[in-house]
A and B are shown apart, each in its own frame.
Chain A
């Protein structure tokens, strides 16, 4: 889906992030083009999640620039970054981060409602997404009664609610059993195949092979290597 002439969606230039005496990222430079599925890999503590946070505007770099969709995140204030995330970013977390007090449909609709979309409109769009992800019949279920795979699908639906330019996934299968993990991987693959730009943080080589067309390796906060996977992904397992 990607090509060298495709538009650059993410550009990191010499990004450095320090937490006190600890350097989480040390001069990372990286580009992600529209339609790419990039997997960031590396051992624990190498800076994967920090990199993802920088791109999502959840954290600010100590040095360097992060430009996403032509937006220099360092220039945005807290509110600006919130609006940026609302419009441009969809996030999927290892532990789903759903609101326990809301049923699946409302969890998904919430993302649109925050932008001022009416409850009715938001629900209609949420239902479409849940339907596309195959869990429309679970729309009225609360997170506590959903399986891990179902929760992650709801989280994916929520991430897609505002049609983000970039989907960020942080260990999306890390808390799932193998079957549910397979389902989520298929889902991400499908999304990328219809043009969704994807950045995965994972330490699961299999997932990277399966879902990404490029793997960026991090070690000690630096980019240790970047390799394209031949012919893109390995395709579906079945």
Chain B
């Protein structure tokens, strides 16, 4: 056994606390780094990752039946193809279950979910193998949430036999809304066949355009490429990726900084030991070797355990977050990430140890032996002197002066606390903004109840009331505060090639929370005015001040866009306008009462469940439901930000813990002396905790503004990526009380980190300390 190893082993054994702290800090830091890296990895290209895993189609070509080219050979440039699959375009009525299918649906006949292209993720139930069975395209719900409908539900499409749901599947390529067995298709009257193509490598816009242009034209009805879907995903929930990236980067930064702080401190506090080693004949290189080995042993153990813990923690966390974001729950394998994190952290540890060890290498033995115990001068002495005269209990003023004795270590600790507080601040701002966004966009509090009459075509016990009678009934029920009737329909607009969805609003539309979502202009005041949702504004170029002409069967209605809002009514974002506009453009339109959706706000004290019961009791033909649920995305973001904040807060607290341990070790003699002249254990605790609380306060005072700035920068970035303009209320989430509490978070982190070593300091055996020199 070499002398270096023997000395290292002895040092590890002798400094059990220090070794444990290094191991623990590296463990938590590595775990945080693994979660952060996995987050960055998964966030960097979530669409591309899932698209590659499912072998998503780069191009979907739709041909007339019987005219699709056979296989990849039929399309020049395709690497692989699947199909032809028969396709039918059918219509689902407004009250179809699941309700999101309402409108035109694409039904595709496929024998199985596998294949060379579009390997559909069948996440519940089984594939449709017989007529009468259907698989519904939907994303798996996040853990703890139920799907939007259940197996066994019967779907009634117009001009089609009833179909029973036997499974749920997710296709990132969005190739169908419903899949049935090929044998079923004849009864659905297919109008086209679908060919799915994958191109070599990662094709860009040019390659996709060239390929599409080269498709056989005979019988080609349409060809869509994956870039359209990718763009839609990027503008949708995927826009929250910048939040995740910021969290990931913060995690990396805090972890690296804390490890550097702890390891550097460990080596610096061992200078005396280094001097002794030199005195007994260790060469400078051997001394460096001892110290590198000494910190590497706990770092390696902590790193391995941390990588495993990080992988263990990140999997459910990321699964939940990405399912909430609308991607599949498969977050991939983290083995590579774990190894990268482990390697990285060990490099950081060795570098952090190497720098002070090299300095110790050049110190003369006598100089090294006296380091830490020899009288110092000039370090924070002025601060100590000033504090001694301040009207504070002496234990407090002594504590306040301690950080000035080791400015470099103090700076590193403050930096760790700053990053911890920045993260906590950013996370709390983000959580508030996301909740606010959810509240405004979903109008959870403003319209907690939705009511729609059952469809007489498919349901038993429909209502006999007319639209107006239903509204009157709802207004008469106890607990009703406001009622708005909404009717949605697509309309042609002069100058636009695609129809535009429009929501016509009646009743108490001014009281239903739409105005909170305004980002520009104003809310509806008169007939002929419209408010455009941000998404529609970006996608269709409709701006505040524009005049639109809606067209239907020869009737026209002029609309002036007077405002832009982040919400666009229930379902697909739609132009919001008054009911009078509908009467102007379609005066003869017969409105079936089940086409109208009623939103109800409740008087204070009325519970949603009791109100729903009273609606059902008043008219069993009315379907009323709780419309106030927090969406899974909000829950996922909040849980993710909370978990990361806790992890980073723990790492920051460990850094403080380490600093106090080192300070206590260094100041053993001073503490012993103070106790010998009558300092009580409580005063020792107060002094030690005060020294760290001061750092915590400094960290809070810097970290809180930094977190607010990060929030101010990242949120607009996110909205720009999502093509959604944010109401200013979403940026102004900070209240003085919140900021004060967040500043206290810095103190809390520091105090928690300091408490254990402070109590150990209070229990220090004076006699032992004072007589050892």
Contacts and interface: CB of A to CB of B under 8 A. Distances in A.
B385 A143 contact: no
B670 interface: yes
A56 interface: yes
Interface string B360-385: 00000000000000011101110011
Contacts of B71: none
Given A110-B677, A114-B677, A58 B766 contact: yes
B676 A85 contact: yes
Contacts of A111: 677-678
Contact of B773 (A50, A95, A162): A95
Interface string B382-425: 00110011110111001001001100000000000000000000
A115 B767 CA distance: 22
B589 interface: no
Contact of B770 (A78, A97, A118): A97
B770 A101 contact: no
A103 B773 contact: no
Contact of B675 (A82, A99, A101, A123): A82
Interface in B674-717: 674-683
A113 interface: yes
B765 interface: yes
Which of the four size classes fits the interface of chain A? 35 or more
> Which residue, of A49, A50, A93, A101, has the highest number of chain B Cβ atoms within 10 A?
A101
Contacts of A116: 393
B55 to A, nearest CB: 68
Contacts of A97: 669-670, 672-673, 676, 770
Contacts, number: 115
B771 interface: yes
Nearest to A171: B771
A142 B773 contact: no
Contact of B389 (A78, A119, A142): A119
A119 B390 contact: yes
A93 B676 CA distance: 10
A142 B381 contact: yes
A215 to B, nearest CB: 21
Given A91-B677, A158-B677, A49 B767 contact: yes
Interface in A127-166: 142-145, 158-159, 161-162
Contact of B394 (A100, A113, A123): A113
> Which residue, of B381, B401, B404, B762, has the highest number of chain A Cβ atoms within 10 A?
B381
A26 interface: no
Given A49-B771, A106-B385, A119-B390, A144 B765 contact: no
A183 interface: no
A170 interface: yes
A89 B341 CA distance: 56
Contacts of A98: 673
A102 to B, nearest CB: 6
Contact of A101 (B393, B401, B669): B401
A13 interface: no
Contacts of A58: 675-676, 765-767, 770
B392 to A, nearest CB: 9
A170 B15 CA distance: 29
Contacts of A94: 771, 773
Given A49-B771, A114-B683, A119 B377 contact: no
A79 interface: yes
A54 B681 CA distance: 18
A143 B773 CA distance: 16
A100 B388 CA distance: 14
A143 B389 contact: no
A6 interface: no
A82 B678 contact: yes
A102 B767 contact: no
B376 A82 contact: no
Nearest to B678: A86
A103 B378 CA distance: 11
B450 to A, nearest CB: 65
B670 A99 contact: yes
A82 to B, nearest CB: 4
> Which residue, of A79, A82, A118, A161, has the highest number of chain B Cβ atoms within 10 A?
A82
Contacts of B384: 101-102, 106
19 contacts: A49-B771, A50-B767, A59-B766, A78-B681, A82-B678, A82-B680, A83-B680, A85-B675, A93-B673, A94-B773, A97-B670, A99-B670, A101-B376, A102-B381, A102-B384, A102-B385, A106-B385, A114-B674, A119-B388
A-B pairs, 7 with minimum CB distance: A86-B678, A144-B375, A113-B394, A97-B673, A53-B767, A82-B680, A58-B767
Interface of A: 49-50, 53, 56, 58-59, 78-79, 82-83, 85-87, 91, 93-95, 97-103, 106, 109-111, 113-116, 118-119, 123, 142-145, 158-159, 161-162, 170
Interface of B: 375-377, 379-381, 384-385, 388-391, 393-395, 398, 401, 404-405, 669-670, 672-683, 762-763, 765-767, 770-771, 773
Given A83-B678, A101-B384, A101-B401, 12 more contacts: A78-B762, A78-B763, A83-B680, A97-B672, A99-B670, A101-B376, A101-B381, A102-B384, A114-B395, A114-B677, A118-B391, A145-B377
